Amino acid sequence: MTHTPGITRPPREIIEALKDIGAATVAGTLGHMGIRNPHMQGPVSWNPGKSIVGPAVTLQFLPKREDLYGEDEYTDPEKQLHRHALYQVEPGDVVVVDARADMTAGVFGDMMSTYFKGRGGAGMVIDGCLRDYPNLKRLDLPLWIRGWTPNFHTQTGLMPFAVNVPIACGGVTVIPGDIIVADDDGAVVLPVALAEKVIEESRVHHEWEEFSRIRLLEGAPLQRYYPLHEDARGEFEEWRRLNPPRVKD
């Protein structure tokens, strides 16, 4: 069997903490930390209301070269690297695919996606297409993709080339094991080394933003409450004292 490397997964408590923080807040916080563009542009949500957080299992496609990849995809299925990406999946993982923004080749179809969900995969982010939309729609798998095609993955000009290597997805570098945060705003790449700082900064931001939203709905001045002006800091601290953060059971 083809050998493919695994990934190092972040601590479970980091993943759980990030589930309370949206992609926009993560992206904005990373921006203030110097990571200017963590948003994978191109893949968009096909399941409104769904959100995922999980480590990236990566799959890289390259332009097909027939001496490296034959025409018959079922002669020896175990040579197909897109299968081996799915073999690496553990519960909560996110498969992230550099499919070169190709709109002609379906990276996975119904059966592969069903297998992925059965293994506990959280969702997929693909800079390219899937196939078998009628069946995948019923599968209710969280997806961030460019679109759909009836073609299978090597029918046109792509071939799977590597699993769990650094890839470019939607113009962003993704390292295997990076944390993917995705919702209706899009999919964001969060380096594991920055995750705890992002969680800390995002919690503070979320608290004053909730307070400011209340004041703005009351017609209060934008200049005072967004961003929170230092003159309003005492008012916010009093509000926070009277409205402590809810602790999860």
- List all residues 6 or more positions away from 120 whose beta carbon is below 8 Å from its beta carbon: 89, 90, 91, 92, 93
> Could you tell me the sign of the dihedral formed by the alpha carbons of 167, 150, 140, 44, in that order?
positive
pTM: 0.89
User: Which of the four pLDDT bands, split at 50, 70 and 90, describes residue 74?
Assistant: low
Res 7: pLDDT: 97
Which domains, from first to last, does the chain contain? 12-190 (3.50.30.40), 197-242 (no CATH)
Longest dimension (CA), the chain: 70
Residue with token string 């002609």: 104
pLDDT of residue 80: 80
d(C-alpha 43, C-alpha 23), whole Å:
14
Tokens of 171: 């113009």
Q: What is the pLDDT of residues 95-149, one digit of tens each?
A: 999 999 999 999 999 999 999 999 999 999 999 999 999 999 999 999 999 999 9
